[in-house]
Amino acid sequence: MALLLPLAMLVALLVDRLFGEPPVWAHPVVGMGAYLQRGSQWLQSLGPAAGFTAGALRWWLGALLVVAATVMLETGLIRGVEPWQASGRMLGCALLLGLMLKPLLSWRMLSEEVAAVELALQDSLEAGRARLSRLVSRDTSALSAAEVREAAIETLAENLNDSVVAPLFWFMVAGLPGAALYRFANTADAMWGYHGRWEWAGKWAAWADDWLSWLPARITGLALLSWRLHWLTKLRREARKTPSPNGGWPMGAMALRLNLRLAKPGTYELNPTGSEPDSSAIARAYGLALSAMLKSTALLAFGAFVLRLP
């Protein structure tokens, strides 16, 4: 039992590396998004109290459905191979569990999309801006080449946590239901948790994502620093500059480790004495993120093993 989850993590990352994302019709996150989209106009039309209550209740309903479905899948899978008297049975179970975990994390797509920004910039600034607009919600039409690279690197750092480390952390803690709950919460925050029309209906979704991401974001930040705890004071200082209680940790660590200035105009400026990103910056950020991803996965796999020792 202790080796099941670590092996499933390895399977999920290997499948991600070899095959990328599953088709849209089979992707559970697409299904989560469809659920969250239903009734969205009605939720946005409600006042503060009603909007908050309705948004929270709809979030909880979706979370319960996701957890119930994954509990049944995981329980049925494990029950079907017990007792584990042969190693082949455990490996088969790890393979199936890893295949179910894979759609709840995404490293290959994230890294390829970020790398594509630099490739587009080599063609033209306009092409780089257009490619970046697929990754960020900010207006990219007036960004300089350095600002385009900054935004791409920030996206890579923040989503290293959201798309890989946090799902694996909650998989370590609570198995497939934990990873699925986190992915639902993160998707809800992405769709509902911003200011404006979703100010009240999306508030619970934003709070839930902040809470579930709190510890994983700090693990991600420290992994990006290669566990150099003497940099922790600097990292805390940089992380406090962002509106998000979590996003500043991986972004700040990336800025410090690469000695880059990373900023969102009018919102934050991380490591202001760092240099502007040049044409090699995204590749260097990818290498650092890959190393941090592998280190985090090793730590979380070990944690999953220890938590399930008899």
The closest alpha carbon to 156, from 258, 80, 76, 86, belongs to: 258
- Tell me the torsion sign for CA atoms 211, 214, 220, 224: positive
Q: What global pTM score does this model have?
A: 0.95
Residue-level pLDDT at 86 = 52
Residue-level pLDDT at 59 = 96
Burial class (CB in 10 A: 0-12, 13-18, 19+), 112: exposed
- Cβ distance 305 to 3 under 8 Å? yes
Residue-level pLDDT at 198 = 76
| Number of domains into which the chain is organized | 1
Parent domain of 226: 4-307
Q: How far apart are CA 55 and CA 49, in angstroms?
A: 10
Q: How far apart are CA 129 and CA 136, in angstroms?
A: 10
Spell out, as residue ranges, where the chain has pLDDT lower than 50. 84-85
The CA radius of gyration of the chain, in Å to the nearest whole number, is 20
